[in-house]
Amino acid sequence: MHRRPPPWQSPDLRKHPHTPGPSTHPTPRHDTTPTPPARPRPGLVEDQRPVPALTPEGPPTHPTATQPPRGVAFSAISQLTLRVLPPPWRSLLPMATMDSPRALHAFNRYELKYLVPAAGVEEIRREVAARMRPDGNGGPGVNGGPGGYGVWSLYYDTTGLRFYWEKIEGLRFRRKLRIRRYGELGPAPDDAQVSVEIKQRVNRVTQKRRVLLPYRLARDLCDGRRRIAHPEADQPFVDEVLELVQRLDLRPTAITGYRREPFVGVDSDLGLRVTFDHRVRGRDRDLDLRAEAENRAIISPHLVVMEVKANERVPYWITDLAARHGLQVRRISKYCQSVEAFGRAPRSVFHVPETDDAAPGSPAVERQPA
């Protein structure tokens, strides 16, 4: 029985593979009546220009000649958006946004936090030090204590603790205002350099913006609620702080302090930062960085807060290290711990009971100097 070959093996097609066969469709009529323009359907985007990729700073926006794309300045994450912009738009971005030292005053990062038993910190520190280098701003330890530097923060909130509850409820967008001093722990003179910071969380990305001021001017801005003279480049941020303080009626709420031992990434881990925060303590009175006041432990002195901060991704060796040591990511806020430790809100699982025995050399109540 003779079988018919499949259509693609037809002798006619083999001889003339590019010869089109007769069309089975009727020849269209050439109507001279103009076709009315198509009416756009709801939901369709009229502007068909390429849309830049999503950035952690916000939704995609169309670049225009009068408004450069959002999120192209100040951070390593934001700088990545420059690569996806069409060349004409790159020329519209001032070079100062990419090369200015002011870029150090804003950060966009992913943050992971762990609670590490103090007895196990040394082994983890050795593994971290083998891949990273100590931050040059840190100093040697005193009396066998951890190295690094001191960090004191004065937090502002509403009388109803709005920022505290935004954190507890896990809002996708939340923020807090603080005055922070780095350096040796102790009372801050009026001319001490501090940073006024707005730290905010947008989904999983942490953004921090700040301006450096003498402590006296920082208090004039945040407590006196007065507009202060400052270089024009920083004036929009200063005005934002003033508007936030006035609109929400923010007031000093808590102070936290700790000894930070920092490490920074090298080679392929540039932008990675790992810190160990020891002896985390705070107070809810004498809310002035100039005061010599007593502080109490707000996280057990037997625990150390390990923070991992990365611009784009957390390296695999970090997650592997955490898994091998049985560490779990925790939602820890030193500000929230301070609020809870002094009874202003329900306590968390990390609070320090009054009967908790302090670790040797880490009293539960101490004076401010380290």
45 inside domain? no
The pLDDT value given to residue 205: 84
* Cα–Cα distance measured from residue 306 to residue 148, given in angstroms and rounded to the nearest whole number: 14
192 inside domain? yes
370 inside domain? no
Chunk the chain into consecutive blocks of 10 residues (it has 370) and report each block's average pLDDT, rounded to whole numbers.
58 49 50 52 41 38 40 38 36 34 57 94 95 81 69 96 93 94 81 94 87 95 92 91 97 96 90 94 93 92 95 90 95 93 77 44 46
* Cα–Cα distance measured from residue 63 to residue 92, given in angstroms and rounded to the nearest whole number: 10
| Domains held by the chain: number | 1
280 inside domain? yes
Instruction: Find out whether 214 and 192 touch, Cβ atoms under 8 Å.
Output: yes
Q: The dihedral of CA 215, 220, 225, 229: what is its sign?
A: negative
The pLDDT value given to residue 109: 82
pLDDT single digits (tens) 317-359: 999 999 999 999 998 999 999 999 998 887 665 655 443 444 3
Length of the chain: 370
165 inside domain? yes
* Cα–Cα distance measured from residue 162 to residue 152, given in angstroms and rounded to the nearest whole number: 22
20 inside domain? no
66 inside domain? no
The residue range of the domain holding 244 is: 103-353
* Cα–Cα distance measured from residue 239 to residue 359, given in angstroms and rounded to the nearest whole number: 44
* CATH code (residue 254): 3.20.100.30
The pLDDT value given to residue 66: 40
pLDDT single digits (tens) 108-144: 788 999 999 999 999 999 999 999 999 877 666 555 5
Determine the residue type at 195: S
